[in-house]
Amino acid sequence: MMKVLVVGANGQIGKHLVRFIQESDGMQARAMIRKQEQSSFFEDLGAETAVVDLEDDIPAIAKAADGVDAVVFTAGSGGHTGKDKTLMIDLDGAVKTIEAAKSAGVKRFIMISSFDTTRKAIQEANENFAPYVVAKHYADEWLRATNLDYTIIHPGLLTNDKGTGKVNAAAEVNRDEVPREDIASVIFASLENDKSIGKEFQVVKGNTDVKEAVDAI
């Protein structure tokens, strides 16, 4: 049974992912949440919970990762917070989670990034969006430099549309929308498929079954 720590579980992608994991036969979720009052959703699904704030220190996050087989980072500061929260969550929170996985002896790590985190994307971003792209750029760089079994997923413009179970995924795809539920499906398929280790790819809505799309990366 693969045990998966979902960081940012109370976000919309996180909630879908925990549900998929709990509905599966081969996985069990541990939802990392910021407040105890967020726990009932996950407990109703039969998932474990760990109450840890991403602004806590590395040992606190490592304790949440104790005994798991994989860590998924799907946390984000959100579009309505300032540059300071982007720095603390999307960069420092991500890096601390990577370091926590290492110290807890967890090799498998899946990062939900931004659609384009290249240097070019930073230069082209407007002043409000640029700090977010910078944070994601350096978090991705930090993960690539580790010896973790990582996968970096770059989703398109996230929507709350119902998932279709079909996507377009490749190293580079044209920018488009993608339902959050389908990104959760892509994460789940990546956890199931070791061929996704060491890969990073962009994902938007499309016509290819999620499992096939991940297998073809």
> For 36-92, what is each residue's pLDDT tens digit?
999 999 999 999 999 999 999 999 999 999 999 999 999 987 666 777 888 889 999
Q: Is 64 helix (H, G, I), strand (E, B) or coil?
A: helix
DSSP result, 138-199? HHHHHHHTS-SEEEEEEE-EEE-SPP-SEEEEESS----EEEHHHHHHHHHHHHH-GGGTTE
Q: Look at phi and psi of residue 78 and say left if phi exceeds 0, alpha if psi is from -120 to 50, else beta.
A: left
Q: What is the pLDDT of residue 86?
A: 87
Which sequence positions are flagged as catalytic? 132
Q: What is the pLDDT of residue 87?
A: 87
Q: What is the pLDDT of residue 107?
A: 98
- pLDDT tier at 173, thresholds 50, 70, 90: very high
Domain 2-154: CATH architecture, name and number where available: 3-Layer(aba) Sandwich (3.40)
**Do residues 200 and 214 touch, judged by C-beta distance below 8 A?**
no
Torsion from C-alpha of 168, 172, 173, 179, nearest 10 degrees: 50
Q: What is the pLDDT of residue 80?
A: 66
What number is the average pLDDT over the span 142-165?
97
Q: What is the pLDDT of residue 77?
A: 75
Whole-model pTM: value is: 0.96
Model confidence at 5: pLDDT above 80 = yes
Separation between Cα atoms, residue 178 and residue 162, nearest integer Å: 10
What number is the average pLDDT over the span 183-204?
98
Q: How many CA atoms lie within 13 A of 117 on its CB side?
A: 27
